[in-house]
A = this chain, B = another copy of it.
Amino acid sequence: MNDVASLAGVSRGSVSNYINGRSNRPEIKLKIEKAIKELHYIPNATARALKTSRSNYVVFILPTVNTPFFSELTYYIQRQLNNFGYKMILCNSNSDYIEEIEYIEMANTQKVAGVITMSYSDISNLISPTIALVSIEKNISKNFPTIISDNYTGARLGAEQLHKRGLKKILFVSKLPIKDVSETRQQGFMDYCQENNLHYDMILAEDKKDFIEDYDRFIAQHLIGGKFEFDGIFSDTDEYASDFWHLLMKHNVSVPNDVQIIGFDAAKIYPRQPVFLSAIRQPIEEIAIISVYKLLDQIDGNPIAENDLITRLPMSFKEGITTL
């Protein structure tokens, strides 16, 4: 932490704030991120561990690497681990409990240095409290740090962005079941709308393979003389927002002229691509940097401070071509 502070020319407190998701002025944040990236240093304790032939493999468990959000996260975590001399073992678990156990077991028996997990299974009972582990998004237990985006405030920001564009009839688009982060996002959206007397409705597709048929039917039923009854759409994922967008196009509804859409994640198909779908964006690179930092801290044998167990990172609005 001292090295980072010194190279960045900021206080140790600012670095501590950064690592624990507390706010810093943007220019300070940039300096810290730059310093962490530039240092590429292997901390003393970690260097010792490597010398004593402890494994330098870190397991990364996630449902699947095959979505834009997850593949971008995987990219940054692997790069960040690499900066510190660690290699990533990738596990697409498909949320398969049995498979996740095997990887956790590898960590328990010290075959790997640690685990970064984005698992949705309840694996808390399986994990020895002595291993190094960081959980992204889901709070697994009081023994390990959790890194999560501030989904509630992010969803409020989405509703606010529609509101300040003067839109009057907002539609929340999602799919059942609404749980975990979806629930938090829905709550943030509803709270903002209620507090600001903003009219909203919801279309929640059934949990079935051809769920977008529900959206298609809903759009057909709410077209009056070719005009869609809603003028603003917010979804808790880019996926549903993007499905809905393309269905509106099919029904000749003009986006963003007649209907404006805000999704969640601002995923890009290609790294260099401009964002097409306006959306609330998670700070993916920051999640990666902080997750790796908190993992290495444990590997180095530092105790986890109780008030730093949950790191909640602010989200931002990225404007694409689906809002005016």
User: A: which residues have CB within 8 A of B?
Assistant: 57, 64-68, 70-72, 74-75, 78-79, 82, 87-92, 99, 209, 212, 238-239, 242-243, 246, 250, 267, 269-274, 276, 321
Contacts and interface: CB of A to CB of B under 8 A. Distances in A.
Contacts of A90: 74, 78, 88-90
A72 B66 contact: yes
Contacts of A71: 65-68, 70-71, 74
Nearest to A103: B87
Given A65-B75, A66-B75, A75-B64, A270 B321 contact: no
Chain A interface, DSSP helix/strand/loop, else mixed? mixed
A99 B82 contact: yes
Given A66-B71, A246-B321, 14 more contacts: A57-B57, A57-B89, A65-B65, A65-B71, A65-B75, A66-B74, A74-B90, A78-B92, A82-B99, A87-B89, A90-B90, A238-B269, A239-B269, A239-B272
24 contacts: A57-B89, A64-B75, A65-B71, A65-B74, A66-B68, A66-B71, A66-B72, A66-B75, A66-B271, A67-B269, A67-B270, A67-B271, A71-B71, A78-B92, A82-B91, A87-B91, A89-B89, A90-B90, A209-B272, A239-B269, A239-B272, A242-B273, A243-B273, A269-B269
A66 to B, nearest CB: 4
The 3 closest A-B pairs by CB, nearest first: A71-B71, A66-B75, A90-B90
A295 to B, nearest CB: 16
A89 B273 CA distance: 28
Nearest to A267: B269
Contacts of A78: 65, 90-92
Contacts of A82: 91, 99
A68 B65 contact: no
A320 to B, nearest CB: 10
Nearest to A112: B87
Nearest to A246: B276
